[in-house]
Structure 1
């Protein structure tokens, strides 16, 4: 475990830019106690799309010429059945247009992973209904079917409860890594496993290079074309079994170009801001959420070099904000 961790840190070290070319998936996080469904289909529910015909022309010469230069990460020339994860955001909404232009047959899926906590105004804090409306509008525009997959229980059991337990033990798990590994490309893949999809696609900024033998070859996770928005770190725990089923259409495109594409494609959400934070918390502070489930302890902050007293902290807040900060801050 230690060797694998050092290897991953070395790959992402700014001091070693030559090591940033690519890396293989590292399964550093064991999926202990992972809860998956034995009846995948029960999680899906159809969303009524107003028409199976696109509301706009998908054959515009100028638009198609524009898209042609952006589909290198969409496996062009190979017609496949692709399940596209749609969040209602701009990035995931551009993905199905690229995949369609590359010749694939797409079905969009919206993952419903919110859960109820008795915070005041909790539901308005995480606008999942607004996300779903945008997802529907995007699918209506291009004539792509949309289904909702209910993974609330899976999200709680495999992500939220794990985070709480890790904080209880004094460790700091990454919610995005867990969500990608256990939900988006874990429980979701399990839920659609009998539906005959060749690949699952999302709006992540990363690239997957598949070997010529799609059936049992090695798939390699590589850095995206945008080093600022790159999300390969959050995908680094995916297994070979997961990577072999993935497509990341935005992996070859810088973020600012994706925004421009959304405008040229006249997407309904082209002006929508990028989402920030953890959706299931909404406007609730992360430390407040964890403290709700774990008793908060008070500690002190000392300067490592001098031992000088710097102040006090709530131990949960310390884990969240200072874990990757300067080494000169020490908790006691």
Structure 2
């Protein structure tokens, strides 16, 4: 976190959950002048706004409400739905953070005259000088089981240069203890596991309700022949084994999804590993270790273990990532984030697998 500067004004993104609420309390204790903002991004967000208001009242701070339903619909919800309809597996938080969430937090901070913004994410930011220029690098949290740097990898210098992350050194139990010390009811509130705008986590039903029912199509067996009907490609993801309704007498999984032909290709167990991936729309951070080709650690999904790989930047803004050891079922639409030690070096969206 940036050096503590008493009296500086911080605008905290507050949801009323334990992480963001503890963030407010820690900044108050550190001597900052704190107010909060809650993002009302979709019609079902009313409980979040109410929870944020409860925390703000208990901690004696002013809460600002930013309502941006239309922007969230076009920046996050519709792209998320369209990605699934084309056989990809998007991560809505990765999409939302740079385009919407942090954009509107920073906009509110500028309009209201705040020096910093803060969130309850588990990650950290470090100041660096390279070639005489100041840069801010995103780093993993100290408590790795809660690290959220993967979700934040697309944030730019405009955000990182003003971002405070007070939970960077804390384990979850310690954060709950902070909330309990502040006498906040959220101290025992369970963590949310769902996509925020799909509270029951039934994303296929949500997408079909919004965009219409997905057409059925063929499953293609490993031998190349149709072996059953699927209920619409948005119901499936690369690497999936369960819920296929296919009886081939042996375990199979989804190898690839072809949206143009509306076919889902299956493969036998053991063939789910890829040698590498091609990425598009990459973000590259100003880390001194990064060259055109660099050996780094990479994560192919938010909950994956970091794996060693060679990252080669491509002229079209993409990258080729070749794993030292083949990785299981990297899914188009997911992000691959690159790390050097604890630092986020960059990342991009998976376009396709590479098989050798």
Aligned-residue RMSD, C-alpha = 2.9
Higher relative contact order (CA 8 A, sep 6+): 1
- Could you say which residue in structure 2 is the equivalent of 1:106? 34
User: Residues of 2 paired with 1:147 and 1:158: CA distance?
Assistant: 22
What CA deviation, in whole Å up to 9, does each residue of 1:39-79 have, x standing for no partner? xxxxxxxxxxxxxxxxxxxxxxxxxxxxxxxxxx3632454
The structure carrying a bigger helix percent of its residues is 1
Contact in 2 for aligned 1:82/1:107 (Cα 8 Å): yes
- Could you say which residue in structure 2 is the equivalent of 1:235? 152
* Structure 2: stretches of 5+ with no match in the other structure: 242-250, 256-263, 266-356
**What SS does the aligned partner of 1:153 have?**
helix
**What SS does the aligned partner of 1:107 have?**
strand
Instruction: Give the 5 Å matches for 1:1-332.
Output: 73=1, 75-115=3-43, 126=44, 128-211=45-128, 217-283=134-200, 285-292=202-209, 293-301=211-219, 304=222, 309=227, 312-319=230-237, 322=240, 328-330=253-255, 331-332=264-265
Alpha-carbon shift at residue 239 of structure 1 (Å): 1.3
After alignment, is 307-316 or 132-141 more displaced?
307-316
* Structure 1: stretches of 5+ with no match in the other structure: 1-72, 116-125
TM-score normalised according to structure 2 size: 0.61
Alpha-carbon shift at residue 301 of structure 1 (Å): 4.2
TM-score normalised according to structure 1 size: 0.66
Alpha-carbon shift at residue 276 of structure 1 (Å): 2.1
Alpha-carbon shift at residue 114 of structure 1 (Å): 1.3
Alpha-carbon shift at residue 196 of structure 1 (Å): 1.7
Q: 1:303 to 1:104 in 2, by over 3 A?
A: farther
Alpha-carbon shift at residue 132 of structure 1 (Å): 2.7
User: Residues of 1 paired with 2:203 and 2:107: CA distance?
Assistant: 29
Q: 1:305 to 1:99 in 2, by over 3 A?
A: farther
The structure carrying a bigger strand percent of its residues is 2
Query: How many equivalent residue pairs?
Result: 245
- Could you say which residue in structure 2 is the equivalent of 1:54? none
Alpha-carbon shift at residue 88 of structure 1 (Å): 0.9
Alpha-carbon shift at residue 270 of structure 1 (Å): 1.6
Q: 1:130 to 1:309 in 2, by over 3 A?
A: same
